[in-house]
Amino acid sequence: MMIKAIIRPERLEFVKQELEKAGINGMTIREVQGRGDQKGITLTYRGGKMNVDFIPKTMVDVVVADEMAEKTTEIIMKAARTGKVGDGRIFIIPVVRSFRIRTGEEVQ
């Protein structure tokens, strides 16, 4: 399973640490921009208001064995949470097969 989490960039450090404690090291990250159901953040200022559509987020892909999926999701969810709007989402996506390029072997 691929656990695809979209989190606040500033929570990445925690997420990484917590996953590491659980022995989950492999992951791929990148900067993305996102908006949720609130359509971003609305700022007001003298003379008008302004909607900031897309907020920078970090996307984290962690591929784990199926039986680890739930636990991994739990860990990320807890480590990434601040409780405020914008904490992000986690999607679990099936992985049919998985390989290690260096050795050519199939991983679990």
Partner 1 sequence: MALDSGTTAWLLISTALVMLMTPAVGFFYGGLVRKKNIISMVALSFIVFALVSIQWVLWGYTLAFGPDIGGFIGGLQYLGLEGIGTTSPDAAYPPLLFVAFQLVFATVTMAIVTSGFAERVRLSAFIVFALLWTTLVYDPLAHWAWGGGWAMAFGSLDFAGGTVVHISSGFAALAVALVVGKRAGFGQYTMEPSNIPMTLLGAALLWFGWFGFNAGSALAANDIAATAFLVTNTSAAAGALSWLLASWVRGKPSSLGMVSGAIAGLVAITPAAGFVTIPASIIIGAVAGLICYACLLWRQKSGLDESLDAWSIHGMGGLWGALATGIFAAAAVNGYSGLIEGNVQQFIANAAGAFAALAYAFIVTLILAKVVDMTLGLRVSEEEEYVGLDLSQHGERV
Ligand X SMILES: Nc1ncnc2c1ncn2[C@@H]1O[C@H](COP(=O)(O)OP(=O)(O)O)[C@@H](O)[C@H]1O
Distance CA 35, CA 40 (A): 5
- Exactly one of 4, 18, 36, 90 binds ligand X (CB under 6 A); that residue is 36
* Assigned token pair, 78: 């807890």
Nearest-approach distance from CB 96 to ligand X, in angstroms? 15
Binding site for a second copy (CB under 8 A): 1-2, 5-7, 16, 20, 25-39, 53-54, 57, 59, 63, 73, 76-77, 80-102, 104, 107
CB count within 10 Å of CB 7 equals 26
13 binds partner 1 (CB under 8 A): yes
Which x/- pattern over 75-104 shows residues binding partner 1 (rule: CB under 8 A)? -----------x------------------
Q: Can you list the pairs that 95-103 forms with residues at least 24 positions away whose Cβ atoms lie under 8 Å?
A: 95/1, 95/2, 95/63, 98/63
Sign of the four-CA dihedral 1, 54, 80, 9: positive
**Residues 60, 7: contact at Cβ < 8 Å?**
yes
12 binds ligand X (CB under 6 A): no
Binding site for ligand X (CB under 6 A): 6, 26-28, 34-38, 55, 57, 61-63, 85-89, 102
